[in-house]
């Protein structure tokens, strides 16, 4: 049955402009429709938030953040966002329409892919994410459902609905938003994510493309989360015999449980992926997965619709002992019946019997024990922490025998960022001696101004940004005639612009005035080195020499060509000549002029033709050097065509 006929939006025109023609897909937070922009007469996709969520300010903010973020990413592998608006209960994004399917559709239909096809999909995905990372954004929900493959073969990344600025922290209280099969361990454990979380998800997607299944499975999402936290992603070659070890290494690098070991962003992973492809032969790239793998479907969470869902997931508690106990319960088999043997052969005392004994002891000793416990100092009072730094507050609580339950961060127009503005329980309230306290820390004003850092060293500029409540973003380097090398030229956004706390600010650092590279080929190595160092470059000599037309002992090659513009301090590598290679001179006497030239040029020689007057001949009468001798490769052979 065509369920789009029952959708109240189909057939309507939103904002007097977008005619909704058909429903394409339904997700956890929004529905996607095929629509027509009646003003521009073009087909597009409308992503409409579920009306029930439109009253939730945080969801609406996330929706709008997606529009603004993706609008800044003009990249061929990112689904473009054209417009954002609202009409009544409908909040929507107008987006590029990609006719085709998702990577999830491909995996359901085909199962495991050949390595060449998997890399052909992964590389444009990484290019899109790399553009986002360098622009200061993290996607946070990379999965096959968000990879679109057009009918024309183009690959595009969609659904930046969970996008955040690089360096921002998701300070959730016991939950994290995402899809369990692709969450990095640090997202599960602490709720934090940066560019390396996207790198982890890409590694999982690559594993799934090569094997047709996900690396971590379980009967419940909780079991999958436990495995992400405690187990490495297995080698894909265990399921696909003959798969190149280089692909196993690529997956292992991207999915390292320690984020510090992974490539730092998608650009770095893309470079590593291209190196891996270059190391593989055609047979390795075109390996056909076994039929046992092909056609795998569903996923570790169970049915196919569950694997695609972006959910709010319980986050592992921050304290190590809580994490261990909680995750251990997820993996623990059901308790054995009363009286059944324990592992190891000894009969186990029924749990109910243990509880009964404990209760009986407490009943007998309850009164005396209770009086002793109260008199021994069961309660204490919350110390005064307001106005202290977060670190000082933590230390003072620890000294009082109390724990930090949670650190909550709130905006304050009057209190400096990082300073405690409140506690729960409040100052001087009575609390159990081993209790826990929530600290409320100032995030500073809701809008902070980008400080002026032009002319500062990079480290100083980054420190100023952090102190202002912003995050240092991508660093690019440009030539400047005015700003000395190593100092900041400017920022994006510019100084004085207002931004939300923790927003990323890109920095442009000066490479100094450009220096043109001279041509030192054919010069003695010492002379070439002196000339380049005098121009401000660092000179490196290649360890191996090469044959070249240049005289032995002189410079045969230089890594930067003549006229290239480099920065002071850049390195230029010189390769020393072993002199020309000596090759045999072919005999062309008696050949036609055209045949002689072709033979000599194929042997690596330049050809000079001499003719005597009156010229009536058509064949070579003589040559110099003579035939069957040896001459320097690249040298000149003179052929003479005599007249009558």
Is residue 400 within 8 A of residue 380, CB to CB? The reply is: yes
CA distance 627 to 199: 62
Structure tokens at 90: 């409908």
Q: Residue 536's Cα: distance from chain center in Å?
A: 36
* Residue found by looking up tokens 């946070």 in the block: 140
Q: Residue 355's Cα: distance from chain center in Å?
A: 51
Is residue 557 within 8 A of residue 609, CB to CB? The reply is: no
Burial class (CB in 10 A: 0-12, 13-18, 19+), 5: exposed
Which of 523, 474, 528 has its CA nearest to residue 503? 474
Structure tokens at 258: 């320690």
Question: What one-character-per-residue DSSP string does 121-182 give?
Answer: HHHHHHHHHHHHHHTTEE----SGGGEEEETTS-EEE---TT-EETT-B---SSEEEE-GGG
**H-run or E-run covering 354:** helix 351-375
Is residue 43 within 8 A of residue 97, CB to CB? The reply is: yes
DSSP 350: P
Which of 147, 151, 167 has its CA nearest to residue 159? 147
CA distance 227 to 331: 9
**H-run or E-run covering 196:** helix 195-211
What sign results for the dihedral spanned by CA atoms 298, 304, 307, 313? negative
For 69, phi and psi rounded to 5 degrees?
-70, -50
**558 three-state secondary structure:** strand
| Sequence-ordered alpha helix ranges (H) in 376-435 | 390-399
Is residue 238 within 8 A of residue 211, CB to CB? The reply is: no
Is residue 413 within 8 A of residue 367, CB to CB? The reply is: no
**107 three-state secondary structure:** helix
Pseudo-torsion of CA 211, 215, 219, 222, nearest 10°?
A: -150
Is residue 92 within 8 A of residue 67, CB to CB? The reply is: no
Q: How far apart are the first and last CA of the chain?
A: 95
CA distance 560 to 261: 33
CA distance 94 to 85: 8
CA distances from 302 to 7, 185, 479, 519 (A): 28, 21, 55, 65
Is residue 251 within 8 A of residue 119, CB to CB? The reply is: no
| Sequence-ordered alpha helix ranges (H) in 56-102 | 57-71
Q: Listing from the earlier edge strand, what are the strands of the sheet with 155-157?
A: 100-102, 147-150, 155-157
Structure tokens at 278: 């270059």
**190 three-state secondary structure:** helix
Which residues does residue 44 pair with via DSSP β-bridges, in sequence order?
A: 35
Active site residue 83: no
Instruction: State the catalytic residue, choosing from 7, 120, 141, 279.
Output: 141
CB-CB neighbours of 473 under 10 Å: 23
Question: What one-character-per-residue DSSP string does 581-598 give?
Answer: PEEEPPP-TTSBHHHHHH
> What positions carry a catalytic annotation?
141
């Amino acid at each position: 049955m065509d369920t789009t006929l029952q959708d109240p939006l189909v057939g309507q025109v939103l904002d007097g402009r977008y005619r909704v023609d058909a429903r394409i897909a339904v997700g956890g937070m929004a529905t996607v429709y095929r629509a027509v922009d009646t003003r521009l007469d073009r087909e597009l996709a409308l992503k409409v938030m579920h009306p029930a969520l439109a009253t939730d300010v945080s969801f609406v903010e996330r929706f709008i953040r997606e529009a603004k973020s993706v609008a800044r990413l003009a990249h061929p592998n990112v689904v473009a966002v054209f417009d954002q608006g609202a009409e009544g209960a409908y909040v929507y994004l107008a987006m590029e329409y990609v006719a085709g399917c998702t990577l999830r559709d491909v995996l359901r239909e085909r199962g495991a892919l050949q390595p060449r096809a998997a890399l052909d999909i992964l590389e444009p995905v990484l290019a899109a994410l790399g553009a986002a990372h360098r622009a200061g954004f993290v996607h946070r929900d990379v999965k096959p459902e968000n990879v679109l493959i057009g009918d024309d073969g183009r690959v595009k990344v969609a659904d930046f609905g969970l996008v955040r600025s690089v360096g921002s922290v998701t300070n959730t209280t016991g939950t994290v938003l995402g899809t369990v099969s692709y969450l990095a361990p640090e997202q599960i454990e602490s709720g934090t994510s940066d560019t390396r979380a996207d790198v982890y998800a890409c590694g999982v997607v690559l594993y799934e493309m090569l094997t047709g299944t996900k690396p971590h499975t379980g009967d419940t999402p909780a079991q999958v989360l436990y495995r992400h936290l405690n187990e490495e992603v297995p080698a894909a070659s265990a399921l696909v015999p003959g798969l190149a070890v280089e692909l196993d290494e690529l997956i292992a690098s991207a999915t390292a449980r320690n984020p510090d070991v992974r490539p730092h962003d998608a650009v770095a992973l893309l470079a590593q992926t291209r190196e891996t492809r270059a190391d593989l032969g055609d047979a390795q790239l075109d390996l056909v997965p076994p039929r046992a793998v092909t056609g795998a479907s569903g996923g570790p969470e169970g049915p196919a619709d569950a694997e695609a869902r972006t959910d709010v997931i319980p986050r592992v508690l921050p304290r190590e002992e809580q994490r261990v106990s909680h995750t251990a319960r997820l993996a623990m088999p059901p308790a054995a019946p009363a009286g059944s043997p324990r592992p190891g052969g000894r009969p186990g005392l029924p749990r109910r019997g243990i509880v009964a004994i404990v209760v009986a002891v407490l009943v007998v000793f309850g009164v005396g024990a209770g009086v002793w416990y109260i008199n021994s100092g069961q309660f204490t009072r919350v110390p005064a922490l307001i106005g202290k730094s977060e670190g000082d507050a933590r230390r003072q609580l620890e000294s009082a025998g109390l724990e930090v339950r949670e650190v909550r961060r709130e905006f304050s127009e009057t209190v400096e960022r990082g300073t405690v503005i409140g506690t729960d329980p409040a100052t001087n309230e009575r609390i159990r001696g081993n209790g826990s306290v929530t600290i409320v820390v100032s995030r500073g004003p809701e809008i902070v101004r980008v400080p002026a850092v032009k002319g500062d060293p990079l480290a100083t500029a980054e420190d100023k940004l952090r102190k202002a409540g912003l995050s240092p973003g991508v660093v690019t380097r440009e030539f400047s005639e005015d700003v000395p090398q190593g100092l900041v030229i400017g920022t994006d956004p510019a100084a004085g612009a207002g931004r939300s706390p923790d927003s990323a600010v890109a920095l442009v650092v000066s490479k100094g005035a450009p220096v043109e590279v001279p041509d030192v080929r054919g010069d003695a190595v010492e002379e070439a080195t002196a000339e380049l160092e005098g121009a401000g470059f660092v000179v490196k000599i290649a360890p191996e020499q090469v044959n070249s037309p240049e005289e032995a002992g002189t410079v045969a090659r230089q890594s930067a060509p003549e006229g290239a513009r480099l920065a002071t301090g850049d390195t230029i590598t010189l390769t020393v000549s072993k002199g020309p290679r000596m090759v045999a001179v072919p005999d062309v006497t008696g050949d036609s002029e055209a045949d002689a030239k072709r033979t000599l040029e194929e042997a690596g020689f330049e050809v000079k033709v001499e003719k005597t007057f009156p010229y009536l001949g058509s064949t070579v009468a003589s040559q110099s050097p003579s035939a069957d001798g040896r001459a320097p490769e690249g040298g000149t052979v003179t052929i003479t065509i005599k007249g009558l």
